[in-house]
């Protein structure tokens, strides 16, 4: 870097030889090949007659093999570029075998209180090379007591084995700024010893106890008051994952007005609940730190993923954010739909008016983690940031000759910060946050956020020419 050829009176020189240039400049290359081989066979047809019509059925089978070969060169594999992470690529394959079938039974039709009654059932047997086998199925029932009203209900299960990336991805490492709650914060730091002053240290007792339990002295870990610093993060696949399974059901109705030909009006309402067990997720470093050190039960399994220097007593060395299974994720709510269309004249000018309305009411958006001791960590985010209780869309349009005017209204309901993350007024913020600067400027401050109702209005005018 101090070769005379680089500085010929100004910083405008070059390397003296190509070998010098090649030493510092290179390319970061990957050769990735993903292959999927599928064999499938399927047959369907008419089965037999029922009071409501002809029963339909189908059967099939499928064999699938997924293979991934993602090979890095040494620059990518070893992270040789400044500011770039190391990436081991991914190599592996697995097969999946499935048998499936479906039958639809028109039980009744054209009789009192049963203009239509149809039952549908389908099932699938899945056998995965690494994650065993499972049987999933779906049941559906549609009943029209009168032609204009459909009552419907469904129940279904699912099975998803981890894909080849989630299983075979080799370690990738990079660097992120991560908060360390065990470091003595600036506001509590003794300028001479570097340790904490108990009278100024406002960290939660749960956090301090968890630091001690994991081998760190939170009153002596000195980083010049810097609690957020660059940390190496490792990500990758693992064969320790469990397959995802789910249960879901919906029920509701749809209705179309049958009395007037002057306009069309349709209304639909549905309730849904989806519960997924062992969801495969890639945790963030912040999540792992929060779960480890803010755990009041003092036994978080996520602490094992946080590796520290000096035999576990120093600053972060590396955080292992590999794929994990979340024990359960549940979402439930209501869907509302309305459609209105009408043609009429203003004088001799024909007008077509249309209104489409869709709304969603979220009842639950929860996640559950269970540790090795059976302790349950349950968190329902419904109504909080990112998970509003209400979302709606209203679209109104009018067509006159070659012109169409449209007015669309999007609505997102107000939200609050999750209760678990709202600090009490008597707890000082120990570090900078999105609402507080931290001591000594903001000692009597709490971290809090909410959002108001959000409305977005969009209008447009179209003209359609002859050509």
Per-residue pLDDT of the chain (467 residues; tens, 9 = 90+): 777 888 877 667 888 888 888 887 888 888 989 999 999 999 999 999 999 999 999 999 999 999 989 888 888 888 787 767 777 788 889 899 999 999 999 999 999 999 999 999 999 999 988 888 889 999 999 999 999 999 999 999 998 888 887 888 777 787 889 999 999 988 888 877 778 888 788 788 888 889 999 999 999 998 988 999 999 888 888 877 888 999 999 999 999 999 999 899 999 999 999 999 988 888 889 889 988 888 766 677 788 889 999 988 899 999 988 888 878 999 999 999 999 999 988 888 899 999 999 999 999 999 887 766 677 778 888 988 889 999 999 999 999 989 999 999 999 999 987 665 555 555 555 555 556 666 666 666 666 678 899 999 999 999 988 87
pLDDT of amino acid 296: 66
* Angstrom distance (rounded) from CA 131 to CA 324: 15
- Categorise residue 53: left if φ over 0, alpha if ψ from -120 to 50, beta otherwise: left
Q: Does the pTM exceed 0.85?
A: no
Q: Which residues are within 8 A (CB) of 82 and not within 5 positions of it... i.e. 6 or more apart?
A: none
Degrees, nearest 5: CA angle 117-118-119? 130
- Categorise residue 215: left if φ over 0, alpha if ψ from -120 to 50, beta otherwise: left
34 in Cβ contact with 75 (< 8 Å):
no
Query: How much of the chain is in helix, strand and coil states, percent to nearest 5?
Result: 10, 55, 35
ω into 440 cis (within 30 of 0): yes
pLDDT of amino acid 276: 94
Q: Which residues are within 8 A (CB) of 335 and not within 5 positions of it... i.e. 6 or more apart?
A: 252, 268, 269, 270, 272, 358, 359, 360
pLDDT of amino acid 435: 64
Compute CA 65 distance to the chain's CA centroid, rounded to the nearest angstrom: 27
Beta strands across the sheet bearing 306-308:
172-179, 228-235, 316-320, 306-308
């Amino acid at each position: 870097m101090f070769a005379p050829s680089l500085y010929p009176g100004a910083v405008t020189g070059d390397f003296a030889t190509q070998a010098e240039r090649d030493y510092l400049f290179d390319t970061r290359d990957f050769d990735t090949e993903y292959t999927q081989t599928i064999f499938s066979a399927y047959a369907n047809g008419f089965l037999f007659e029922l009071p409501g019509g002809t029963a339909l059925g189908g059967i099939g089978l499928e064999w699938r093999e997924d293979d991934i070969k993602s090979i890095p060169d040494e620059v990518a594999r070893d992270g040789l570029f400044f500011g770039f992470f190391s990436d081991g690529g991914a190599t592996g394959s697995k097969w999946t075998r499935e048998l499936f079938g479906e039958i639809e039974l028109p039980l009744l039709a054209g009789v009192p209180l049963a203009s239509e009654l149809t039952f549908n059932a389908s099932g699938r047997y899945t056998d995965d090379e690494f994650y065993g086998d499972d049987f999933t199925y779906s049941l559906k029932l549609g009943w029209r007591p009168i032609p204009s009203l459909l009552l419907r209900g469904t129940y279904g299960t699912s099975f998803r084995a981890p894909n080849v990336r989630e299983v075979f991805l080799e370690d990738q490492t990079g660097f992120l700024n991560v908060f360390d709650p065990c470091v003595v914060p600036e506001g509590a730091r003794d300028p001479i010893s570097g340790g904490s002053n108990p009278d100024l240290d406002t960290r939660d007792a749960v956090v301090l106890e968890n630091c001690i339990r994991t081998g760190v002295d939170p009153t002596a870990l000195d980083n010049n008051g810097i609690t957020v610093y660059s940390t190496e993060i490792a990500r990758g696949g693992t064969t320790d994952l469990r397959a995802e399974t789910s249960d879901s059901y919906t029920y509701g109705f749809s209705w179309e007005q049958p009395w007037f030909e002057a306009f069309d009006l349709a209304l639909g309402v549905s309730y849904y609940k989806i519960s997924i067990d062992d969801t495969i997720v890639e945790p963030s470093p912040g999540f792992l730190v929060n779960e480890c050190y803010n755990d009041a039960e003092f036994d978080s399994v996520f602490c094992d993923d946080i590796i520290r220097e000096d035999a576990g007593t120093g600053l972060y060395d590396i955080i292992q954010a590999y794929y994990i299974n979340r024990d359960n994720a549940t979402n439930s709510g209501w869907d509302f739909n309305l459609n209105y269309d009408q043609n009429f004249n203003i004088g001799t000018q024909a007008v077509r008016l249309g209104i489409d309305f869709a709304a969603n009411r979220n009842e639950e958006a929860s996640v559950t983690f269970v540790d090795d001791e059976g302790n349950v960590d349950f968190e329902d985010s419904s109504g909080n940031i990112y998970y509003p209780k209400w979302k709606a869309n209203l679209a109104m349009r009018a067509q006159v000759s070659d012109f169409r005017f449209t007015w669309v209204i999007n609505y997102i309901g107000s939200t609050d910060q999750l209760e678990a993350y709202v600090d009490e007024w008597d707890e000082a913020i120990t570090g900078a946050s999105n609402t507080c600067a931290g001591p000594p400027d903001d000692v009597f401050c709490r971290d809090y956020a909410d959002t108001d109702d959000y409305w977005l209005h969009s209008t447009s005018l179209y003209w359609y020419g002859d050509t």
